Structure 1
């Protein structure tokens, strides 16, 4: 993920966090986990998925490598941030969240500690996602739900698709930075195969689509100037003339309504499975 920037929470929220929160609500509803379970949110970022989980309520540990993102995570009752290993044993007495700086591919957590292990919009940014999935399996209790979702960068995440298509017209080398081609895990067959390969049972997948309506072109374009995420980080490397050319081509191409609003959609692929019990084939 060289060149991608993930540190400033407010800029990320303006760019994609506001949309990922809507996907998180749909995702948690799909899992249908009863209240009061022990959850791990691996790659929790600014807390979009953590917030949706806490509505259950539940006991949540959020892990992310970005201390800046963790500082931007919602500070709900019981939320606390630490650099150490959280206590995860036993049955939670109160709902809340623990925020821990850590790597999804090397979780600083105990074996078989969680009833639910989830990861939202993060697997594609792990250099070797199979290592992270193996870690999910390690910390999941027998029979735990293990699930994830990723943007459908190839066709379904329309705001990014418009950007990369136009950017490649202006700067052909931009095609090499396009998330649609860079992240092979962000496809339904790849997610299903990864979950099956990790030994999870009852594997299922689904698409989650949400509306992404921008009030006008500035509402669409301004977040691309924040430097957070693959597309904004790439845009920041370009000269002013190239940036202006991309902006004006996007302005011409995006579908706008009579009131100037831009109505797009964003799709994510979700996968879920169950951690096998000891002795399961």
Structure 2
């Protein structure tokens, strides 16, 4: 995924940095998401906000698309996705989910992964996705459950807020109320989509040790790492040690958490 717009702490620029943070887990969600959609082969697909190309790659590998297009506003992420999808024949364009560069009714499936909450005008983005879907086609997306089951981020923010109450304003669980079944359903129904359905997708997130969990937060890319690197060395060390003490570390040093995403789907009438 990639950020469509937003404050500095919400900007993503490097696929190489994104991968060890949440990219590897988003790939697991993409597979479960496509299993849920259970689409036949030979369809025309659009990935709106493709980021590093994880969802588009999963579509190419699992769904035998007739056409696969993907857009993202980040030049760096489009370049990363182009390398990833080099042999898949995908159309990759730099564009915003709020203004998709396609004619109405051009796709059988319009999907998006881990993007919607970062779009400033979410109803407009969903309306655009519905616009470019064919009658009878399906629009579907998923977002992280920041307020609950996306544990690697939830535990970070719980520790951060315990040490610094001002961090609550940056906590994605508080900032993104859309990342719940009710608001997602409301957005899809508001866009005129029929048969709207939601579900939770849980995937395991296993880290071999604390350092593998902690190091991605030092990248400065995305809200939680951005907050982490805004701290002074002493405050960052305090956050690191509070997290170390609070995480469920196994005897071998491993840390096994769960990442939950909420998915929603609807059909264009």
User: Normalised by the size of structure 1, how large is the TM-score?
Assistant: 0.90
Q: Does 1:228 align with 2:237?
A: no
Q: Please provide the CA RMSD for this pair.
A: 1.0
Q: Please, which moves more after superposition, 142-151 or 55-64?
A: 55-64
Counterparts of 1:77 and 1:214, CA distance in 2 = 30
Q: Does 1:107 align with 2:100?
A: yes
Q: Deviations over 1:173-211 (max 9, x none)?
A: 110000001011100001111111111111111100000
Q: Which residue does 2:3 correspond to in 1?
A: none
Q: Does 1:194 align with 2:187?
A: yes
Deviation at 1:172, TM superposition (A): 1.4
Q: Which residue does 1:178 correspond to in 2?
A: 171
Q: Does 1:256 align with 2:249?
A: yes
Q: Which residue does 2:203 correspond to in 1?
A: 210
From 11, 17, 20, the counterpart of 2:17 = 11
Q: Which residue does 1:71 correspond to in 2?
A: 79
From 231, 234, 240, the counterpart of 1:241 = 234
Q: Does 1:269 align with 2:262?
A: yes
Deviation at 1:15, TM superposition (A): 0.4
C-alpha contact 1:11 1:227 (8 A) present in aligned 2:
no
Q: Which residue does 2:59 correspond to in 1?
A: 53
Counterparts of 2:94 and 2:164, CA distance in 1 = 36
What runs of 5+ residues in structure 2 fail to find an aligned partner? Answer: 1-5
Deviation at 1:77, TM superposition (A): 4.7
What SS class does the counterpart of residue 42 from structure 2 fall into?
coil
**Paired residues for 1:153-172 under 5 Å:** 153-172=146-165
Counterparts of 1:29 and 1:206, CA distance in 2 = 12
What runs of 5+ residues in structure 1 fail to find an aligned partner? Answer: 80-95, 277-281
Counterparts of 1:157 and 1:135, CA distance in 2 = 27
Q: Which residue does 1:130 correspond to in 2?
A: 123
Q: Which residue does 2:49 correspond to in 1?
A: 43
Q: Counting helix residues as a fraction of each chain, which structure ranks higher?
A: 2
Counterparts of 2:255 and 2:34, CA distance in 1 = 28
C-alpha contact 1:211 1:264 (8 A) present in aligned 2:
yes
Counterparts of 1:205 and 1:246, CA distance in 2 = 35
